[in-house]
């Protein structure tokens, strides 16, 4: 059993440790016995759950769950997976109106000759650090490569700052163009692994017969065309972070191998029985609802929970309209340097146009729109007439936003409709969609649409 600890009999036999636990100012230690009764707790617990120690010891852990929302989920997962949980963020609201933030860890007590099994719960108080970050975030307009000053982005920066130094897996949800890879990069390059490799892999861009070779590597002769050994991305990322974008496109067979690597921290190259140890922080991203794929047996449930220990939702641009002007200035400044021009900004009417548009393509679409207007501009400011037609022809309230994390998506439906109209002809379907043919092929893989769809 992993993440277990041997201790002396834990029912009232901590005399040698009580003085140590009680001297810790910001650490709460609670020990549950095999019946989930509180066998030990240090004095800080009294302040957390507002009860004197005589009314705590010997009571069932339900009194903790009532006062500490979220603790029941942590305990359930500890029991379910028979493995301790490390540094899970958890916030406790106090009656005085002050929130306390803790990093919670659990350890399973390994039964011995004189002991029964049990669980140790440790709460590390990080409230002061969170408060300091909250004060700092009021003036933050960027974090790493991420640009934004809106409330949703400030919350994102704070969350990244909180989790950056931990090895816990992170899953990033977000629509296309919301900057999921920038978030992944910011987590890596602001954390303790920043001097080690950051290796991105775009799963949807790789064919089914290449993805395992890319991730795990292969040995010479493993398959036709394997003329030499190849180091996989896991090994390349050793010590750093591996970012798997569009992870929802992986085959179930590949998902099973990925899960095994995450559990055992070893990788086996294709065609080899060698087990290579790897130390990698896993960051993954998707624009699809993985829980929906799990329900339809297209994605492994155990892998899903392994990936989403920490979950980040990248806010769409239509929900952070305050950032549009800031992003526009950033893109104009960058384009000025690249093209050696001196565009000063955008006109007020153009600014209103951008604010009223819903940005289904999010920040990526805004960046492309700014470059489109930049190239066509002949004056010192970008004007309404310089922007793409889909923005100019919007209804003034913005085009309808695409559905978030739903299946089938609007884009998926449009692709299927275009394939039916063109009788499966990919060139005609690409023209109907206004999409490059290679982009269409990538989308077919992403949405798992058969290459023969629409053909007579």
pLDDT at 9 over 60: no
Fold of 410-446: Arc Repressor Mutant, subunit A (1.10.10)
Residue among 114, 4, 11, 121 nearest 57 (CA)? 11
317-392: CATH class: mainly alpha
What pLDDT is attached to residue 200?
A: 94
What confidence tens digit (pLDDT) does each residue in 38-77 have? Answer: 887 877 777 777 788 888 888 888 888 777 888 888 888 8
What pLDDT is attached to residue 209?
A: 73
What confidence tens digit (pLDDT) does each residue in 286-333 have? Answer: 998 898 899 889 999 999 999 988 999 999 999 999 999 999 999 999
What pLDDT is attached to residue 177?
A: 92
Q: How far is CA 306 from CA 168, 222, 232, in A?
A: 9, 29, 21
CATH number of 164-299: 3.40.50.300
User: Lowest-confidence range among 104-118, 149-163, 301-315, 324-338?
Assistant: 104-118
Domain 4-125 matching CATH 3.30.450.20: the answer reads: yes
Are 119 and 98 spatial neighbours (Cβ–Cβ below 8 Å)? no
The C-alpha atoms of residue 184 and residue 112 are separated, in whole angstroms, by: 43
- Stated as kind and residue range, the H or E segment containing 189 is helix 180-190
The C-alpha atoms of residue 156 and residue 275 are separated, in whole angstroms, by: 37
Question: Residue ranges of the alpha helices (H) in 217-300?
Answer: 233-236, 252-264, 290-295
What pLDDT is attached to residue 6?
A: 41
Other C-beta atoms lying within 10 Å of the C-beta of residue 141: 15
pLDDT at 2 over 70: no
Give residue limits of the domains in the chain.
4-125, 164-299, 317-392, 410-446
Top mean pLDDT of 23-27, 37-41, 216-220, 352-356 is at 352-356
In terms of pTM, does the model score above 0.75?
no
């Amino acid at each position: 059993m992993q993440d277990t600890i041997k201790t002396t009999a834990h029912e009232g036999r901590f005399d040698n440790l009580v003085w140590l636990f009680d001297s810790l100012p910001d650490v709460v230690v609670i020990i549950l016995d095999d019946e989930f009764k509180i066998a030990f707790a240090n004095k800080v617990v009294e302040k957390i759950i507002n009860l004197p120690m005589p009314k705590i010891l010997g009571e069932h852990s339900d009194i903790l769950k009532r006062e500490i929302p979220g603790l029941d989920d942590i305990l359930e997962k500890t029991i379910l997976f028979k493995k301790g949980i490390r540094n899970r963020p958890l916030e406790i609201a106090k009656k005085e109106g002050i929130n306390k933030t803790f990093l919670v860890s659990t350890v399973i007590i390994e039964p011995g000759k004189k002991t029964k099994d049990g669980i140790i719960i440790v709460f590390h108080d990080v409230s002061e650090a969170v408060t300091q970050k909250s004060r700092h975030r009021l003036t933050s307009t960027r974090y790493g490569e991420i640009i934004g000053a809106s409330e949703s982005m400030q919350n994102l920066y704070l969350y990244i700052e909180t989790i950056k130094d931990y090895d816990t897996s992170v899953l990033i949800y977000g629509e296309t163009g919301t900057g999921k890879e920038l978030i992944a990069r910011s987590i890596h390059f602001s954390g303790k692994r920043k001097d080690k490799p950051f290796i991105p892999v775009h799963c949807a861009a790789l064919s089914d017969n290449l993805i395992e070779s890319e991730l795990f590597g292969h040995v010479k002769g493993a398959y036709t065309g394997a003329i030499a050994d190849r180091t996989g991305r896991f090994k390349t990322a050793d010590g750093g972070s591996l970012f798997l974008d569009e992870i929802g496109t992986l085959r179930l067979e590949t998902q099973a191998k990925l899960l095994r690597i995450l559990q055992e921290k070893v990788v086996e190259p294709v065609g080899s029985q060698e087990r290579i140890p790897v130390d990698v922080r896993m960051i993954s991203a998707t624009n699809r609802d993985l829980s929906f794929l799990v329900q339809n047996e297209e994605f492994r449930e155990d892998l899903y929970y392994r990936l989403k220990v920490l979950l980040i939702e990248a806010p769409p641009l239509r929900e952070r309209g305050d950032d549009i002007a800031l992003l526009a200035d950033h893109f104009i400044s960058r384009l000025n340097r690249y093209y050696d021009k001196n565009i000063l900004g955008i006109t007020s009417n153009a600014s209103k146009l951008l604010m009223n548009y819903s940005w289904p393509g999010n920040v990526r679409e805004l960046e492309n729109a700014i470059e489109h207007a930049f190239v066509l501009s002949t004056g010192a400011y970008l004007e309404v007439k310089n922007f793409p037609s889909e923005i100019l022809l919007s209804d003034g309230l913005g085009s309808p936003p695409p559905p978030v994390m739903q299946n089938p998506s609007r884009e998926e439906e449009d692709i299927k409709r275009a394939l039916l109209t063109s009788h499966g002809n990919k060139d005609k379907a690409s023209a109907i969609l206004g999409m490059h043919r290679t982009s269409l092929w990538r989308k077919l893989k992403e949405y798992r649409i058969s290459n023969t769809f629409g053909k007579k």
